[in-house]
A and B are shown apart, each in its own frame.
Chain A
Amino acid sequence: MIRHECLQLLAARMSDQLVVTSQSGQRIEWSHLAKHEGNLLVGMMGCAIGVATGLALALPHRKVIALDSDGSVLLSLFNLATLGNLQPKNLVIYVFDNGVYSGSRISYPTATAGNTDLAGMARSAGIANAHTVGDIEDFKVKGLDALAQDRLGFFVCKVEESLLHREIPRPDTDLTENKYTFVRYLERTEKKTIPFIGRG
Chain B
Amino acid sequence: MKDDLAKRLVQGLKDAGINFVTYLPETRLSQIVPLIRDDAAMELIAAASEHEAVTIAAGATLGGKQGAVYMENTGIYVSSYGLLTIGKQLGVPILLVVGYLGGVPDQRNSFLYSTIGQHTIPMLDGLGIEHQVIEDGERLEAKIKDAVRAANAQRAPFALLFAGEFSE
The answer to whether A binds B is yes
Name A's B-contacting residues (CB within 8 A).
20, 40, 42, 44, 46-47, 49-59, 76, 78-79, 81-82, 85-86, 175-176, 179, 182-183, 186, 190, 192-196, 198
Contact between A51 and B152 (Cβ–Cβ < 8 Å)?
no
Contact between A183 and B62 (Cβ–Cβ < 8 Å)?
yes
Contact between B62 and A52 (Cβ–Cβ < 8 Å)?
no
CA distance A195 to B95 in the complex (A): 13
Contact between B82 and A195 (Cβ–Cβ < 8 Å)?
no
Name B's A-contacting residues (CB within 8 A).
17, 20, 22, 43, 45-49, 51-52, 54-67, 81-82, 85-86, 89-93, 151-153, 155
Q: How far in angstroms is the closest Cβ of chain A from B20?
A: 7
Partner of A50 from the list B54, B63, B90 (CB cut-off 8 Å) is B54
Chain B residues with Cβ below 8 Å from A49 are 55
Q: Which residue of chain B has the shortest Cβ distance to A193 in the bound complex?
A: B64
Please judge, given known A-B contacts A175-B89, A196-B93, whether A50 and B52 are in contact too, CB under 8 Å.
yes
Q: Which residue of chain B has the shortest Cβ distance to A62 in the bound complex?
A: B63
Chain B residues with Cβ below 8 Å from A58 are 20, 59-65
Q: How far in angstroms is the closest Cβ of chain A from B91?
A: 6
Q: Which residue of chain B has the shortest Cβ distance to A60 in the bound complex?
A: B63
Q: Jot down 25 A-B pairs with beta carbons below 8 A, ordered by A.
A: A20-B59, A50-B51, A50-B56, A50-B58, A51-B58, A51-B86, A54-B58, A54-B59, A55-B59, A55-B60, A55-B62, A55-B63, A57-B43, A57-B63, A58-B61, A58-B65, A59-B64, A76-B55, A79-B52, A82-B56, A179-B92, A194-B62, A196-B152, A196-B155, A198-B152
CA distance A92 to B63 in the complex (A): 17
Q: Which residue of chain A has the shortest Cβ distance to B61 in the bound complex?
A: A196
Q: Which residue of chain A has the shortest Cβ distance to B53 in the bound complex?
A: A50
Contact between A179 and B55 (Cβ–Cβ < 8 Å)?
no
Q: Which residue of chain A has the shortest Cβ distance to B22 in the bound complex?
A: A54
CA distance A176 to B65 in the complex (A): 19
Partner of A196 from the list B49, B54, B66, B85 (CB cut-off 8 Å) is B66
Chain A residues with Cβ below 8 Å from B65 are 54, 58, 195
Please judge, given known A-B contacts A195-B17, A195-B66, whether A47 and B85 are in contact too, CB under 8 Å.
yes
Partner of B59 from the list A53, A82, A85, A193 (CB cut-off 8 Å) is A53
